[in-house]
A and B are shown apart, each in its own frame.
Chain A
Amino acid sequence: MGYKVNFAKVNEIFDALSKEYDIYAPKLFPNEGRYSETDIVRYDRVTKVEDIVFDKKSDYPAKEVLSPITETIFYFTEDEWRESKATSKKIMIFMRPCDVNAMEHQNKIYLQNGFEDFFYKRMYEKVKVVLMECKEGWDTCFCVSMNSNKTDNYSLAVRKEDNDLLVEVKDDAFKPYFEGVEANDFTPEFIEKNEVELEVPEIKNKTILNKLKQHPMWQEYNSRCISCGACTIACSTCTCFTTTDITYNENANVGERRRTSASCQVEGFSLMAGGHEFRTTTADRMRYKVLHKFHDYKVRFKDSHMCVGCGRCTSRCPEFISITATVKKMAKAIEEIENEVNANE
Chain B
Amino acid sequence: MNQDINVKKLRTNCFRQSKVPGEFMLQLRVPGNLIDAKYLTVIQHIAQTWGNGTFHMGTRQTLNAPGIKYENIPAVNEYIESYIREVEVEQCDVDMEVNNAGYPTIGARNIMACIGNIHCIKANINTQKLARKIERLIFPSHYHIKVAVAGCPNDCTKANFNDFGIMGVNKIDYHPERCIGCGGCVKACEHHSTRVLSLNAQGKIDKDTCCCVGCGECVLVCPTSAWTRSQKQFYRVTLAGRTGKKDPRAGKLFLNWITEEPLLQMFANWQKFSAWVMDNKPEYIHGGHLIDRAGYHKFKEMILDGVELNPECLVADNIYWTESEQRSNMHLIPLTKHEPAGPQSK
Question: What residues make up the interface of A, taking CB atoms closer than 8 Å to B?
Answer: 29-37, 40, 42, 59-60, 68-70, 226, 228-230, 232-233, 242, 244, 246, 258, 260-263, 266, 316, 318
Question: Which chain A residue has the least Cβ–Cβ distance from B119?
Answer: A35
26 A–B pairs (Cβ distance < 8 Å), ordered by A: A31-B228, A32-B228, A33-B225, A34-B220, A34-B222, A34-B225, A35-B220, A36-B123, A36-B124, A36-B125, A36-B170, A42-B225, A68-B177, A69-B179, A70-B178, A70-B179, A226-B221, A228-B182, A229-B182, A232-B223, A233-B224, A246-B202, A260-B179, A260-B180, A260-B181, A266-B182
Question: What residues make up the interface of B, taking CB atoms closer than 8 Å to A?
Answer: 117, 121, 123-126, 151, 168, 170, 176-184, 202-203, 216, 219-225, 228-229, 231
Residues of A within 8 A of B124 (CB): 36
Question: Which chain B residue has the least Cβ–Cβ distance from A234?
Answer: B223
Residues of A within 8 A of B219 (CB): 34
Q: Which of B117, B124, B181 has the most CB of A within 10 A?
A: B181
| Interface of B, helix, strand, loop or mixed by DSSP | loop
Question: Which chain B residue has the least Cβ–Cβ distance from A69?
Answer: B178
Contact: B229 with A262, CB < 8 Å?
no
Q: Choose among A32, A70, A230 the residue that contacts B176 (Cβ–Cβ < 8 A).
A: A70
**Chain B proximity of A27: nearest CB distance (Å):** 13
9 more contacts with CB within 8 A, not counting A37-B117, A228-B221, A263-B180, are A36-B216, A68-B177, A69-B177, A229-B223, A232-B223, A242-B203, A263-B223, A266-B184, A318-B221
Residues of B within 8 A of A31 (CB): 228-229, 231
Contact: A230 with B180, CB < 8 Å?
no
| Interface of A, helix, strand, loop or mixed by DSSP | loop
Contacts A229-B223, A233-B223 given; indicate if A35 touches B180 (C-beta within 8 A).
Answer: no
Contact: A262 with B180, CB < 8 Å?
yes
Give CA–CA (A262, B184) in the complex, Å. Answer: 13
Contact: A60 with B225, CB < 8 Å?
yes
Contact: B177 with A36, CB < 8 Å?
no
Instruction: Give me the 8 closest cross-chain CB pairs, A-B, nearest first.
Output: A230-B223, A36-B117, A32-B228, A244-B203, A229-B223, A266-B182, A228-B223, A70-B177
Q: Choose among B126, B180, B228 the residue that contacts A29 (Cβ–Cβ < 8 A).
A: B228
Residues of A within 8 A of B177 (CB): 68-70
Give CA–CA (A316, B180) in the complex, Å. Answer: 16
Residues of B within 8 A of A318 (CB): 220-221
Q: Choose among A34, A60, A229, A244 the residue that contacts B202 (Cβ–Cβ < 8 A).
A: A244
